[in-house]
Chains A and B, each alone.
Chain A
């Protein structure tokens, strides 16, 4: 039988208690919309998971595709940010591309 490596021990020691706590902690049941408790709890759950849930998800997450698009544009797009490319034409029309050629 193979001995347990140091890395595996570290993972077990670090993640083991966290996983046990997540599974067995009674505090997790204090989540306001996870159990079917008081009327206040029901109001929270109904307020979140009503008929407008998915439109609200879309509204909440709406800026992120734009963020991702801008970063992709920086990474793949305008060659202006790049210095020293041999393909001078990629930067030819860019005013903010000093020493690119």
Chain B
């Protein structure tokens, strides 16, 4: 049972991390898939590549990739929605400190986790796509992982900086 003065940051960190994962996925989808038009889900050679194919095959492969990109973004949407629900719940608790630094840290942590986990699994283990489907894709893939590590580091620094924040938002407990 809790006593007055006790705070629990974990609900806020978890919510912000989920939101960061979801928003990181949307950055990936919007910036890479749509604006820059690479990094599509099954665009590696052997799947449905967008380079080295004739124009008719290119259209077909792009539409197939769009389907798999969409499926991926369904899950990123679910992550975002779950994060929002958890944030709402955390805001109603009187033992969760309403810390901007913790929130920003969690968002950065989530984004970094997205880049790191997605990069390791899809680029380096499954090889279903790379950041760019070029001969020097390894450099881009490693830079993607590196961005994840940097974002995680920034996130952890913010979370640690917010460890002294104790002001809560919610008026009712649980």
Q: What is A's interface to B at a CB cutoff of 8 Å?
A: 32-33, 40, 43-44, 47-48, 56-57, 59-64, 66-67, 70-72, 74-75, 81-86, 96, 98-99
Contact = CB atoms under 8 A, between A and B. Distances in A.
Contacts of B63: 32-33, 44
Most buried by B among A33, A44, A56, A63: A63
Contacts of A75: 10-11, 14, 86
Contact of A48 (B7, B64, B79): B64
A48 B67 contact: yes
Contacts of B61: 47
Given A67-B117, A70-B117, 4 more contacts: A40-B59, A59-B128, A61-B71, A83-B163
A99 B160 CA distance: 12
Contacts of A70: 17, 113, 117
A57 B75 CA distance: 12
Interface stretch (B31-39, B118-126, B130-138, B139-147): B118-126
A64 B6 contact: no
Interface of B: 3, 5-11, 13-14, 17-18, 21, 41-42, 48, 56, 59-61, 63-64, 67-68, 71-72, 75, 79, 86, 113-114, 117-118, 121-122, 126, 128, 159-160, 163-164, 166
A82 B113 contact: no
Nearest to B6: A84
A63 B67 contact: no
A66 B117 contact: yes
A91 to B, nearest CB: 12
Given A81-B9, A86-B3, A64 B79 contact: yes
A74 B152 CA distance: 14
B11 to A, nearest CB: 7
Nearest to A61: B75
Contacts of A33: 63, 67
A74 B113 contact: no
B98 to A, nearest CB: 14
Given A62-B121, A75-B14, A44 B64 contact: yes
B113 A67 contact: yes
Contact of A74 (B3, B13, B164): B13
**Residue in A72, A74, A98 whose Cβ sees the most chain B Cβ within 10 Å:** A74
A74 B117 contact: no
Contacts of B86: 75
